[in-house]
Amino acid sequence: MRVALGVEYDGTAFHGWQFQGDVRSVQESLQIALSKVADHEVTVHCAGRTDTGVHATGQIVHFDTPSIRTERSWVLGTNVNLPADVSVCWAKQMPEEFHARFSAIGRHYRYLILNRTYRSALWRDRAVWVHKPLDEQVMHRAAQYLVGTHDFSSYRALGCQAKHPVRTMHSLSVTRQGEMLSIDVHANAFLHHMVRNIAGVLIAIGKGEQSESWADEILALRDRTLGGVTAPPQGLCLTQVDYPEEFALG
């Protein structure tokens, strides 16, 4: 039986999603908890690997098991065995052809920026603090250069292992609610550090350090070494993963 889970986690104390053996990871925590419920060793596959300090409210994972449990039992039993900074939100039995990563057709991320003169004690691990005033309207206009299908070489990490840098950006918006700015990104897939590199460029533009067209100029260079600063991880959260309608996970 193949089972999909909806998972949320606070990435602050994790060294990212992926199991690394000698450091704390979200994958390891889930596999330990699920193995206790399934009564056998479980391997978990995710829709999108997140880096150290990055959060998720809409991560999707799957695992295979011969054990028969109700969907409610998978959720409650796993949560009992998970640390407080990871939680399973739902479980659903899936067909064998479903794969959390390879069946996904879209991913959504949100990057939060706290824009005020003084730092926050409460938002320190959830949003990036920028004390200089940001113009969210200028940032939004600059972001529109990146919508569409492009070679995002300038916006991926130098160590990115993706086979090709072309991605389709469905939407990219920058909005403000009081002191909080939100960069919401929806694409078919993402490159390593892609959202954080986009955020770094938009922040520089929002401060007035660069022009609106700088986002497009960097894109055209196709050279990460000529791009902007990579924004910190704590503002980033994986919020949703899209799948074809036949899987009924929407």
Give the residue numbers annotated as catalytic, written as ranges: 51
- 109 annotated as ligand-binding: yes
What does DSSP say about strands 55-64 and 236-242: parallel, antiparallel, or unpaired?
Answer: parallel
As annotated, the binding site for substrate includes 109
As annotated, the binding site includes 109
